[in-house]
Amino acid sequence: MNIHTLSLAALIALGASTAATAQTSQVIEPAVCASDIAPAGTIEVVNFETRRRPIETVLIRPTGPTNGAAIVMLHGQGGLQSDLPRYELQAYQLASRGYYVVLPNYYSASNRSFRDSPLIAERWREVASDAVDYAATLPGVTADKVGIWGYSLGGRLAVDSTLDGGAARAVVAVATAGRLGDGRSTTPTLLIAGDQDPVATIVSVNRWADELRTRDMPVTVETLNTAKHLFDAPTWCEVFQHTRDFFDAQLLSTAR
């Protein structure tokens, strides 16, 4: 069974409620990249808890040597079932390079998949933080080698949960900007943005970066040449090259 089929089977097993199924009819070209290595990972569905509520989660375990690190990946507004096919092969590439990859369906923490509610947004941020704590319990993973990554809404949650005191040691936020909650953090952060993204505009991302720097966050911005918010396969390859380079430097470097 190939990787794509395995991941879809796992998502079906999730049985996750997602209002994003309208987006799943879109044909998505998997991001197969020139730098890819032979896949070496297994996928399963697991749960951890946030406020005693089970959070349905896809876990990709490396089957080769592990590097002692883990990455939590947060989906966008479309939901896990909709978003994972966009970058699932690259999530496997992270596992193939020794990372555990944790993909929580943070909508499990609320009865609705998306609602502009401060309380629900707080629950989702708690899921992000709890996912980082869960990742640190995986075999061979150490607490100072867990990063968090998010796309669109998930990127904002990754940043906000870290500002709220989450334990991630590095943050990557892709195609996102927006209002920030309270809090400060010195966690190294990478923002990846399309120069013509119609949703998370480059102007808003740069303003966001400036605001985060006032909160003590060391922020780097990488700009992509794209006019899309739902990236095509070559753009996802570029996103994950930046992602791997950043997490390798922040989580694996002995000079940290």
The whole-number pLDDT of residue 98 equals 97
CA distance 17 to 107: 8
Q: In Å, what is the CA distance from 155 to each residue of 35, 139, 160?
A: 24, 26, 9
Q: Give me the residue label for tokens 């629900």.
A: 120
Rounded to the nearest angstrom, the gap between the alpha carbon of residue 54 and the centroid of all alpha carbons in its chain is: 19
The whole-number pLDDT of residue 23 equals 36
* CB atoms inside a 10 Å sphere around CB 169: 21
Low-confidence stretches of the chain (pLDDT < 50) are 1-6, 8-9, 12, 16-26, 255-256
SS3 76: coil
The whole-number pLDDT of residue 10 equals 54
The whole-number pLDDT of residue 111 equals 67
Q: Residues near 109 by Cβ (< 8 Å), separated by ≥ 6?
A: 50, 51, 53, 55, 120, 123, 124, 126, 127
136-155 pLDDT, tens digit each: 999 999 999 999 999 999 99
Please give the structure tokens belonging to residue 68: 């002692």
Contact in structure between 47 and 14 (CB atoms under 8 Å): no
